[in-house]
Amino acid sequence: MARTADAAPGLPAAPRAHAAARTRLPGNSLAPGAARRFVRAALADWAGLGPPTPGEVPEFSGQFADDAAVLVNELVTNAVVHAGTAVELLCRLEPGAGPGPAALVIEVSDHHLSRTVRSEPRCAPDERAEYEYGRGLHVVAALAECWGITYRTGRKTVWARLAVHGDEQPGPSRAPCGDLLQRGLRAAEILAPNPHRGPRQHDPDWVDRGALSFLAEASDLLAGQFDEDMIAALAGQLLVPRLADWCAIWLDAWRGPGAAPRLARVWHARESALEVLRATVGKEPPRLPASVGTGPVPVPWPRMAGQPHDGAALAYRLVAGGRPVGVLLLGRAGLMRMPDEVTGLMEDFARRVGLAIGAARQYTRQATISRVLQRGLLPSRVAEIPGVDSALVYQPSNEGVAGGDFYDVFPGAGGRWCFALGDVQGSGPEAAVLTGLARPWLRLLAREGYAVHEVLDRLNQLLMDDATDATDATDATDATEAAEAAVRPAAVESAAPAEPQTRFLSLLYGELVPDAEGRGVRCTLVSAGHPLPLLLRPDGSVRSAAAPQMLLGVVEGARYESETFRMTPGDTLLCVTDGITERRSGPRLLDDGDGLAAVLADCAGLTASGVAARIKQAVYAFAEAPPADDLALLVLRAT
């Protein structure tokens, strides 16, 4: 973990006012504990660097440091749980009107707006105490002067401002904090319950002014989510306590006929009442009349021990694509009925929630189909080659779309072991079709006993023949549509025929033959338009192991030439797709200036798994944004 601190020169009276410290934390169970230690260390550094003049150095009391540690713990934990990526943490002091800083601002950024943690990270037994789930943004709102969310391309930042001096109690109803105020804060200021506002909280004009900001914030948050449970959680946090004291979201089943609705989320302004509310509203799913559209439906106020006995409760049907997807319940204590302007705002909000859930379900269906398709296109297991230590990394860039990269390791004819790493043009169904053709053909040709270069010669011809067949089929379809169009009324226009898509791929294909006396393996390979494989010697030297040749499926009758060399024990062959060599950081690519070879040179002496992990780490560290292309790499090390 690295920390940097900087102070603006020429400000001896308040050197801490512009101090800042930043670090990058891994997206695992150790991040919250590391973040707490980091913020305490930063406060200690800043307090110890100032001049001895009384009143000019910030006095970071034990309580202030504790509050800062709790804030950063909650923000980092939420980022780890809901994103799972590396987390950037920035702590900075804002200048005040007089000597010394006015506030500590904590910013936590992640790089996945919708990704969720799928399994608990592994850690040593003595480290499990660090793994803890956050108590939610209620804690942040209670401690901070204000907080908010900022979105940038591929990046989400949640920030909180903790006042260093001042007599006011922190909380969501404090005055705005200048440029740091976000749309969500404006909505919270206008719509959150506040007993001191009096009748103004029911002023329609006053509510309408906040409605636009509230709906804009809701649209931004919900549109970036592809998990229906995450959408339900966000909806609850947006509603409570801004518009309601509590809410519950039921979602209709969609993965099987006859399944009952499930209670996806319950949220209450007081966390102590959550379980009581869950037990009360979870007894039976709400049944709304079939004639009810998306408008409000009054429902009985739930009787909960220790909670208000009177209030207004409403139910809204959540609809997507004309079909119901769930029901939203909410209530507010102390009201006989909800104001009309609030019920109208809630109907708009419920419509957005329904659409977001519908989009999430469509994405989930597509992602499920893609995963099933991907599993069918890729080998269920990678063969173990005698005398060779191997490791594979495969990571599609988009879980909802079948990737264009593929790999295979399998036994060939005559004691040979074959390996392949390919990259199909494009992604999605077209790429899946070509992968589904290329991999079985490759295995069939290899097991027929053809030499390496002959396998690629014949595979290229098969791809060309398939492209010709696809073009003929498209021409026949176009001719049929043209004949039908000739008898249609002139006012009816037919759509332009789709252009047939060219099918080509890059492929690195090779064979390994283990030495009978255990002195390594003989490797023969061809690189057809693919990033060249790299050979690492035990002394750390690296060279290309093949020459570039033509892509497959481009030129009729193309002929390929293979290269043969011996891999002695300790030699490592690295095969990658262009998702690694063309990993971009601004104008630079990872492989510019033989960058990949330089990374591989530092891997001398590592196992195949160690080399794969080092290369993957270098790919992610090369740029802040996550990889935009599929990643695939195969490491073969002679033992």
More confident residue, 155 or 429: 155
Res. 244: pLDDT tops 50: yes
Res. 57: pLDDT tops 80: no
Segment 592-609 mean pLDDT: 94
Q: What is the pLDDT of residue 201?
A: 44
Res. 434: pLDDT tops 50: yes
Q: What is the pLDDT of residue 400?
A: 53
Cβ atoms 616, 555 nearer than 8 A: no
Peptide bond into 626 cis (omega under 30): no
Segment 357-377 mean pLDDT: 77
Where does the pLDDT of residue 257 fall: very low under 50, low under 70, confident under 90, or very high at 90 and above? Answer: low
Instruction: Tell me the angle at which helices 429-447 and 452-486 cross, rounded to the nearest 10 degrees.
Output: 140
Q: What is the pLDDT of residue 122?
A: 37
Where does the pLDDT of residue 108 fall: very low under 50, low under 70, confident under 90, or very high at 90 and above? Answer: very high
Where does the pLDDT of residue 435 fall: very low under 50, low under 70, confident under 90, or very high at 90 and above? Answer: confident
Share of the chain above pLDDT 90, in %: 30
Cβ atoms 74, 31 nearer than 8 A: no
Q: What is the pLDDT of residue 8?
A: 31
Identify how many contiguous H helices and E strands the chain contains and give both numbers.
13, 24
Res. 6: pLDDT tops 80: no
Cβ atoms 161, 181 nearer than 8 A: no
Segment 598-614 mean pLDDT: 94
Res. 380: pLDDT tops 70: no
Res. 563: pLDDT tops 80: yes
User: Which tokens in the block code for residue 258?
Assistant: 């006859």
Q: What is the pLDDT of residue 49?
A: 54
User: Which tokens in the block code for residue 163?
Assistant: 């006042």
Q: What is the pLDDT of residue 187?
A: 36
Q: What is the pLDDT of residue 112?
A: 63
Q: What is the pLDDT of residue 248?
A: 93
Q: What is the pLDDT of residue 519?
A: 83
Contacts 24+ apart (CB under 8 A), 252-259: 252/324, 252/325, 252/326, 254/325, 254/361
Segment 486-513 mean pLDDT: 64
Share of the chain above pLDDT 70, in %: 72
Cβ atoms 92, 8 nearer than 8 A: no
CB within 8 A of 108, min separation 6: which ones? 35, 72, 75, 76, 78, 79, 87, 88, 89, 90, 157, 158, 159
More confident residue, 454 or 48: 454
* CA distance readout (Å), 85 to 27, 101, 348, 402: 5, 32, 33, 22
Res. 44: pLDDT tops 90: no
Looking at residue 315, its amino acid is: A
Q: What is the pLDDT of residue 217?
A: 77
pLDDT one-digit tens code per residue, 279-327: 888 888 888 887 778 888 898 888 776 677 788 999 999 999 888 999 9
Lowest mean pLDDT, pick from 20-34, 327-341, 498-512: 498-512
More confident residue, 182 or 530: 530
* CA distance readout (Å), 171 to 179, 209, 220, 505, 592: 18, 22, 24, 58, 51
- What span, in angstroms and rounded, lies between the C-alpha atoms of 362 and 356? 10
Res. 603: pLDDT tops 90: yes
Segment 212-226 mean pLDDT: 79
Instruction: Tell me the angle at which helices 228-239 and 204-223 cross, rounded to the nearest 10 degrees.
Output: 160
User: Which tokens in the block code for residue 285?
Assistant: 């799913």
Q: How many CB atoms sit inside 10 A of residue 381's CB?
A: 7
- What span, in angstroms and rounded, lies between the C-alpha atoms of 245 and 331? 6
CB within 8 A of 98, min separation 6: which ones? none
Segment 212-225 mean pLDDT: 79
In what helix (H) or strand (E) does residue 56 lie, and over which residues does it extend?
A: none
Q: What is the pLDDT of residue 572?
A: 96
CA atoms within 13 A on the CB side of 429: 3
Q: What is the pLDDT of residue 427?
A: 61
pLDDT one-digit tens code per residue, 120-152: 333 333 333 333 344 456 678 778 888 877 766
- What span, in angstroms and rounded, lies between the C-alpha atoms of 324 and 252? 8
Q: What is the pLDDT of residue 379?
A: 72
User: Which tokens in the block code for residue 425?
Assistant: 């043009």
- What span, in angstroms and rounded, lies between the C-alpha atoms of 434 and 415? 28
More confident residue, 354 or 115: 354
What is the chain's mean pLDDT, rounded? 77
Which has the closest alpha carbon to 61: 52, 69, 50, 53? 69
